Amino acid sequence: MSDKPQIIAYQGQPGAYSHLSCTRAFPEMAPHACETFAEAMFMVEAGRANLAMIPLENSTAGRVEEIYRLMPKTQLNIVGEHFEPVNHCLLALPGTKIEDLKTVSSHPQALAQCADHIKGLGINPVAGMDTAGSAKILSESGKPQFAAIASSLAAELYGLDILCENFQDKDGNTTRFMILSTEKQVPEFVTGNRYITTIMFTVRNIPAALYKALGGFATNGVNMVKLESYMASDTMTATSFHLDVEGHPDQKAMKHAMQELEFFAKDLRVMGTYEAHPFRYQDDIIVE
């Protein structure tokens, strides 16, 4: 074991939900804040961080488009996934009463997700750059009539009171993160365990190429859980695909499905195989 500190990079201010995910998934590692997703990913490629915690999609806001364009430009591997339920907290300076509040600041998405509660309190929403950044600005403002919407970790880091937890209007808002590493870490196949394999590819310029490329997963009983398309070039002539399937490369069905995909696809890259996060099966809806 190296004496060097174990570092996990993330994008955002300290106290952001990405930071919170780092502390929950890897409490033994030192989180490192980066201004951009590219900076966080480059830290890992350059060997200055062991892992990166990168959001891929949110159940409310949808996919993080930038990540699909960044991933093919790196040599990083996906070694895990993490699902983080978003619990927005209404934060204020210590000693502030909720009836004293006049304005509340946060990222526009967070404000939208808490719109009914904000309206119910009769306070004015003010858009900020991000949730944790709004909490930091609040902590430095000295103004008790101001509030922020951010994580419980942001409250702890910036010395703020939590006036209300679960401030979002609807429960279930969840972000899925990818855990990236320079090392390819395929877990040993264990019968009964669930695995996700992530693949990026483009298809050959022939009729029904995508249908044929994916047909092997259907005929071999391999469940596809995610398929995203995006333009892979500035010319808008090549479409690339991000595919998540339930399966491990050591399974016979996966081997046969991958053979068909490899025949009809090009620029195929297996981004990683990793154990499925328990969040996927919290309702015990399991497809065999």
Task: State phi, psi for 127 to the nearest 5 degrees.
Answer: -70, 135
> Rounded to an integer, what distance in angstroms lies between the CA atom of residue 156 and that of residue 28?
19
CA proximity to 84, closest of 56, 117, 52: 56
E strand residue ranges, the chain: 7-11, 30-34, 51-58, 62-63, 77-85, 89-92, 103-106, 124-127, 146-150, 161-164, 174-181, 195-203, 224-231, 239-246, 265-275
Out of 37, 146, 167, 175, pick the active-site residue.
175
Active site residue 279: no
Both tokens assigned to 114: 């808490």
Out of 37, 167, 177, 201, pick the active-site residue.
177
CA proximity to 7, closest of 50, 42, 58: 50
Letter string b/e over residues 96-114, b meaning 16 or more CB atoms within 10 A of that residue's CB? beeeebeebbbbebbbbbb
Q: What is the DSSP string of 64-119?
A: -HHHHHHGGGS--EEEEEEEEE---EEEE-TT--GGG--EEEE-HHHHHHTHHHHH
Alpha-carbon distances, residue 230 vs 63, 68, 177, 253, 256 (angstroms): 11, 7, 19, 27, 26
CB hemisphere CA count around 280 (13 angstroms): 18
Active site residue 177: yes
Cβ 195 vs Cβ 273: under 8 Å = yes
Report the catalytic residues.
175, 177
